[in-house]
Structure 1
Amino acid sequence: MLDERHIGDLMLTEIESAERPSAVLDVERAMTTARRQRRLAQGAGATLLAVALTVGGLTVPDLLTPDRPPAPTPFGSATVAGQTGLPAALTTIDPQRVYVRFGWLPAGLRHFQYQAGLLLSGPGVYLGASNGHTDDQRQFVTVSLLPKGVEPSAPQRDSGEPAVAGDSDVGPRLNGGDSVFVSYSGAEKPEAVLRWRYAPDGWAQVRVFGTGSDVRKTAAQVATSLRFGTDTVPMPATVTGVPANLRMITVNVSESLDEPRDWYAAWTWSPEPATADPGRQRARTLSVGISRYRNVTDPADKAYVNPNTTVDGHPARFGGENGDESLTVYDVNGADVSIDDSALLPAGGTRALFPAVTLVAQPATWHTHLHP
């Protein structure tokens, strides 16, 4: 079970940048795990640290509405004629769309994450790759697509000191126009921040951290090889039976190529309107997460949770208090299914929703779209 110090460490590491999720840890998964462990502990009468994460962000009208996204642009094997962008800036961000993929990455980055919809800082699209380290050996590359009219912001530093913009230099031609390298104070390792317009009035950004001495060259190569489109995000399951008053706000997919291979895919719904403050939209949510099953027998392992019930013949862990419920069903044809409800479903709603989660035929061999 997550202890107080570990949850605090997770939250501190997650606040990696004000403009995008962490490049090292899967933020949504860590937050969901913390909520689930807290509910389970409450149900068992134990005491767990209550972690409060205050998320700031811009409130932009008409984002994450059910409007149709821009006309689909097929993903190609490489960028054509420098068209590193979309036909139009995103005024609607469909969480179920893949807007950008990596084409090239430096060696050693084997942990990937894609999020679309309501991020920690507000609506946007995030793509990241890292070497999985959280210490001074960490390396990562991130891509951010911002909605129409939203300006990029400075990265946050581990020290807590504000990052002050320094000199800027012209970068390569991207999407038919100039790009710009922006430098910021306080970088702990070599860093490059490259920005351009992926569409009129829509900013894209590549951030490279710690991948060698010539990080600007790396950022330019990453940016020129990106592939853009609006394909549907491949997911390991379908979910029906979600109440009609709930609106999908985020899809989150991550995968590690290190052994043991691991992946995670989740949907999050909120009852709040798209125009509400991002923190309010996240305050009460329903989430369904699917992950590759891993048999953890060591109680000291942070992934270890001792089942306390069964669901449809599968070992499961159920807990909750004050209307909140958390259910994890283990080894469903090689996958774990987790449902976390902030009192949005009737009593017993997580158990009732579980049969409406239909996994792909062989979830144990499924993998995400995040690597070739």
Structure 2
Amino acid sequence: MLDERQIGDLMLTEIESAERPSAVLDVGRAMTTARRQRRLAQGAGAALLAATLTVGGLTVPDLLRSDRPSTSAPIGAAPADGQTGLPVALTTIDPQRLYVRFGWLPDGMRDLQYQAGLLLSGPGVLLGASNGRAEDERKFVTVSLLPKGVEPSAPQRDSGEPAVAGKTDRGPRLNGGDSVFANYSGAEKPEAILRWRYAPDGWAQVRVVGTGPDARGTAAQVARSLRFGADTVPMPATVPGVPANLRMITLNVDESLDEPTSWYAGWTWTPEPATAEPRWQRARTLTVGVSRYRNVTDPTDRAYVNPNTTFDGHPARFGGEGGNESLTVYDVDGATVTIDDSALLPAGGTRALFRALTLVPEPATWHTHLHP
């Protein structure tokens, strides 16, 4: 199990570089793990860094409506003339909407992720892919959609040195307009940052790092093949019974294509209004996550199976105090369900919410929308 320092380091890295998907642990699970370990350790006076980190941005989960038909397509099926934009810029972001997906990716991309809503960097949409390697061997592609009026920011460097903007170069025509390649100092590997307007007053960005010598060519091909829309994100479960006073702020989906394949899908709700500071919106949350079950016996693995009780005939782990509860139920028809509650549900609420949850048929064979 991750210790306090590791969780803090992971989350600080994600906050400082929200464009870059973690090669070790996704943000949603890092936060969930941090909350669970904090609750279990409260009696001993432990405090996790994750509870005090400040995040930026806010969002109201309204629906961006679009009359266009679905543009979903599998990875590798790049259209000849991809539409590289939406009808209007996102003024608010509905976490349950699938605004963008890949059409083409360079070889070797194994870990895929989609996040929408209140991200650690602020409101937005993040689509990412990486080769699953660490540090020197790491290659990744990210796509960011920013809300109306928000300007793209400089990338964060592993060295900690500020990235200084250089001159921009003209890019390909995208969404009927010009695009630009932004240049910044301090890139550790061949890098391309391609920016264009996915709608008037709304910026999109593709960033590729380490994918080969023709980083700009790769970025342009990724951008041209992107599929845009506003379909509902496919999820492995429905979660009725969430209190009406809670507002969904983030949805996170990721999948690893390595064998054995694994996936995670999660929702996060808060009682705080969208006008509250983002750190308060994340201070007290309810998170429900569903993942593919694997009987992992290695305690250092993030999917480590560590039951301390049974629930409805399934091995489970339950903990918490002071109104906080954390419930993980293993091997529910091939899935693992985790519910973390910051005293937002009545006593025993995690159990009641688990019983209300409905999984898709045969969840062990389910795949995310990111799967080819």
CA distance in 2 between partners of 1:275 and 1:197 (Å):
27
Residues 230, 300 of structure 1: alpha-carbon distance in 2 compared, 3 angstrom cutoff: closer
Residue of 48, 51, 57 corresponding to 1:50: 48
Aligned position for 1:90:
90
Q: Counterparts in 2 of 1:317-336, with a 5 A limit?
A: 317-336=317-336
Take 1:75 and 1:357, find their aligned partners in 2: how far apart are those partners?
29
Q: Is the counterpart of residue 249 in structure 1 residue 249 in structure 2?
A: yes
TM-score scaled by structure 1? 0.93
Correspondence list, 1:1-372, <5 A: 1-15=1-15, 17-18=17-18, 20=19, 22-24=21-23, 25-42=25-42, 45=43, 48=46, 50-52=48-50, 54-59=53-58, 63-75=59-71, 78-79=78-79, 81=81, 83-372=83-372
Q: Deviations over 1:159-193 (max 9, x none)?
A: 22221111210000000000000011121111111
2:94/2:116 contact within 8 Å kept = yes
Structure 1 residue 123: Cα displacement: 1.1
Amino acid at match of 2:308: N
Offset of residue 65 of structure 1: 3.6
Contact 1:72 1:231 in 2 (8 A): no
Q: Contact 1:82–1:176 at 8 Å: present in 2 too?
A: no
Give structure 2 stretches of 5+ with no counterpart: none
Q: Kindly report the root-mean-square deviation, in angstroms, between the aligned alpha carbons of the 2 structures.
A: 1.9
Distance (whole Å) between structure 2 residues aligned to residue 336 and residue 91 of structure 1 = 35
Identity of aligned residues (%): 77
Structure 2 distance, partners of 1:96, 1:69, is 12
For residues 20 and 276 of structure 2, the distance between their equivalents in structure 1, rounded to whole angstroms, comes to 20
SS at structure 1 position matched to 2:115: strand
For 2:79 and 2:147, locate their aligned partners in 1 and report how far apart those are by CA, in whole Å.
22
Letter in 2 for 1:51: L
Whichever residue aligns with residue 99 of structure 1, its letter is Y
How far apart, CA to CA, are the structure 1 residues paired with 2:57 and 2:338? 30
Aligned counterparts of 1:30 and 1:76: Cα–Cα separation in 2: 29
1:137 is matched by which residue type in structure 2? E
1:17: Cα distance to partner? 1.3
Amino acid of the residue matched to residue 294 of structure 2? R
CA contact (8 A) 1:102 1:225 kept: yes
Most deviating of 183-192 and 100-109: 183-192
Opposite residue 56 of structure 2, the aligned amino acid is G
Cα 1:94–1:313 change in 2 (3 A) is: same
C-alpha deviations, 1:230-285, integer Å up to 9, x for none?
11100000000000000111110000000121000001111111222222211111
TM-superposed deviation, 1:29? 1.4
Structure 1 unaligned regions, length at least 5: none
Letter in 1 for 2:246: L
Q: Distance in 2 between matches of 1:56 and 1:159?
A: 21
CA distance in 2, matches of 1:360, 1:83: 32
Q: Give the residue type in structure 1 aligned to 2:27.
A: V
| Equivalent-residue separation in structure 2 for 1:357 and 1:152 (angstroms) | 38
Deviations 1:189-247 (A, max 9, x none): 11111000000000000000111111111000100110111111000000000000001
Give the residue type in structure 1 aligned to 2:197: R
* AA aligned opposite 2:67: A
Q: Give, in whole Å, the separation in 2 of the partners of 1:130 and 1:283.
A: 30
Letter paired with 2:49: V
Of 250-259 and 29-38, the range deviating more from structure 2: 29-38
